Chains A and B, each alone.
Chain A
Amino acid sequence: MVMKILTAPRMDRCIGCHSCSLACARLVHKKLSWNTAGIRIHSSGGLTTGFVAENCMACDPAPCVEVCPTEAFIQRRGGGVIVKKNLCIRCGKCVDACPVDAIYQNHEKEVFVCIHCGRCVKYCPQDCLEMIEVSI
């Protein structure tokens, strides 16, 4: 059996349009925001240095799952997490546990992380993003 995970293998092409982040926020989280998205694009020391993506690396086992006290984060097969929002107490332990800052916590302490749905991919005009298959 295979699962798919989101990857950002061609970020050297990124032009910083934020279309992926805005798509995730709009379609997955019903939000208008740069931040409340599973993938977030940042410049790194100003726009002269290009862009980096903050997104889930699909860890397995995922350290954010291990620290979650309420099982709001559950290990996803193939890597990453399944999020049960109604169980989340907004403690932020997952945010601290993530080694690549892939989890965002807004001012209301709600957390946002990539669920590897791939809805952002088609909005990238530069083909930076790709869903890849992983065997489980």
Chain B
Amino acid sequence: MMRDHFRVLLYDLTVGKGKYVNLDGRNSAVGGSGLAALLYSQYGQPQLPWNDPAQPLIFAIGPLTGMFPLMSKTVCAFKSSYHNQYTESHAGGRMAVALAFAGLDALVLTGRAPRLSCLGIGTHAMELKDVEFLRGKDASVAGKMMRKIFNAGSGHRSLLRIGSAGERGSSMACINVDTYRHFGRLGGGASMGVKNLKGLIVQGDGDYSLLDSKEYVSVYNKVYSQMTDTRMMTKYHDLGTAANMQSLNDIESLPWNNLQKTSDAGIEAISGNTFAEETLLRNGACSACPVGCIHIGYIREKVGEEHRYHYHQVPYDYEPIFAAGSMLGVKNAFDVLRILDVMELGCIDVMSGGVALAWATEAFERGLITTEQTIIPLAFGDSGNYVLAAEHLCNGTNDFYALLSQGTLRASEKYGGSEFACVLGQEMAGYATGELFFAAQALGFRHSHLDTGAYSYDQKHSEKNVEAGVKFLMEDEPGRVFLTSMVACLFARSVYSDEQLAECLESVGYNEIAASIPAVSEQIRKERWKVRIATGFHPDHIDIPKRFYSVKTWKGDVDKEYLDELKQEYGRRIMFLMDDK
């Protein structure tokens, strides 16, 4: 299975044809983030807008995908409809292993299908089918229909689809991956929709000979044991990331009511423990992950007056609960799931959607918008109307919701209220931990809390030291970039140290990568930023809204001067990467 090159499928949706190519660069680009940047450099069009048919939609995996536990994620890279710049979004599910077992390191989609279509690929399959009849269908219906339309490989394949949000080019549209995972942020769904691609099915139907290597088996068993026999992954296995709800509320770092406060005495109603005790139906796993961090809750709905019910299964994690729970002031676990369910089915990123509705609520309370825009009145805690508002956001029911689903700042440019829009490059992640996180999300590569560990640094450091904070960000990023080039689940970062990764890589023959992890990590970081900057990124173009300067955390009130200095210095250091030889 070890390849000293990349095997890539280039598929042109305009003509409905694909070809396999072998690319050099394994030892320098590795895979995942590094490979995606390499592919965008080769096939991307930095000067053209995001929705030009020539823009590639890239899916890339790592050299150890399928070979070791938790090497289970895929990088999706594209020019984003949100900011018209290059970006990445990452997802688990079965996609990574399906691509590996389909014999691919990456899939690059270009062009635009003449009509709404679905692409199916496998080792012995490549077919683009017209699915115009699926236009407007939600994730559940589309998934069921796609399984019928492409009936080969049932159970051993990955199934991606978009909803109406993606079809109409919403910048909050996500790509649903295998029902419970997502390429969520920065509008990957719009990049699929603009290509007239409703769905993608990847059959992992190949088999690949392994060297009869005792070393590989031994290293595999060591890693597997750490994942399952120690407490290193207990957090994710037990309550899951939802445990953060209580802990962040306890340290006054959980955004409530559009970040008007950072803790609330009613946290217990939506704590990770409450979700687990009352709503958790079952757990699930990405393929090749024995941890099984996927938490699936349920909602049961009564139909009519008689005792007739149906139920939905709704995945939850910390970030979705923050976005549809505390950020909206909703203090009932089942109600949070009801809001999430609507966004899941409509294929809109729940973090972005929740934060956007939180802004809309405050704008409504201040009289900047009325029911003429929102259709129904919005109030923090009113979950019933948030369910309806979420539907409007997914569907872009009127001009207001259509604009809001392009980004909170875009709506605030028209209606006012940009000062309380909780946007740090994109709608905020659920960490009101302090100045370093705010600067880090605002300027981070993916505008994600996972670009660096700033949220963790904030929780351990109360001193205001710009040099130390930015040094942490700059030194933390390359290791994460290497992990996302592998493409490991970042939950496994405590197991997959550089030393452990080197051992894994060596055991299957990637000796050169194993011997050069620090240098390769730094090089990929630089290449990735180079692509981003070529598509228009500049730190001076990103403002931090006033709301973030009025936050109170466990450290006290946010220090405006310190935050501004952090942002300035972090931006300078990012741009300096381009000059640093």
Contacts and interface: CB of A to CB of B under 8 A. Distances in A.
A48 B344 CA distance: 14
A102 interface: no
Given A32-B210, A42-B155, A106-B207, A47 B180 contact: yes
Contacts of A126: 292
B385 interface: no
Contacts of A84: none
B228 A125 contact: yes
B78 interface: no
Given A35-B156, A107-B124, A22 B288 contact: yes
A3 to B, nearest CB: 26
Contacts of B289: 17
A32 B67 contact: yes
Given A46-B179, A48-B179, A32 B287 contact: no
Contacts of B534: none
Interface residues of A, number: 31
Contact of A22 (B66, B178, B180): B66
Contact of B207 (A18, A19, A32, A47): A32
Contacts of A50: 282
A30 to B, nearest CB: 5
Contacts of B209: 30-32
A30 B212 contact: yes
B220 interface: yes
Given A16-B285, A22-B66, A42 B154 contact: yes
Interface band, chain B: 35 or more
B412 to A, nearest CB: 38
Interface in A1-36: 15-19, 22, 25-27, 30-36
Contacts of B143: 46
A35 B207 contact: yes
B266 interface: no
B300 interface: no
A17 B287 contact: yes
A84 B313 CA distance: 46
Interface in B173-200: 178-180
Contacts of B155: 40-44
B287 A16 contact: yes
B210 A26 contact: yes
28 contacts: A15-B284, A15-B292, A16-B285, A16-B287, A17-B287, A17-B292, A18-B288, A22-B288, A25-B207, A26-B210, A30-B211, A30-B212, A31-B208, A31-B209, A33-B206, A33-B207, A34-B97, A35-B156, A40-B155, A43-B154, A45-B147, A47-B178, A48-B179, A107-B123, A107-B124, A123-B224, A125-B290, A125-B291
Interface of A: 15-19, 22, 25-27, 30-36, 40-48, 50, 106-107, 123, 125-126
Top 3 A-B residue pairs of the complex, sorted by shortest distance between their CB atoms: A42-B155, A33-B207, A17-B285
Interface of B: 1, 66-67, 69, 97, 100-101, 123-124, 143-144, 147, 154-156, 178-180, 204-212, 217, 220, 224, 228, 282-292, 294, 313
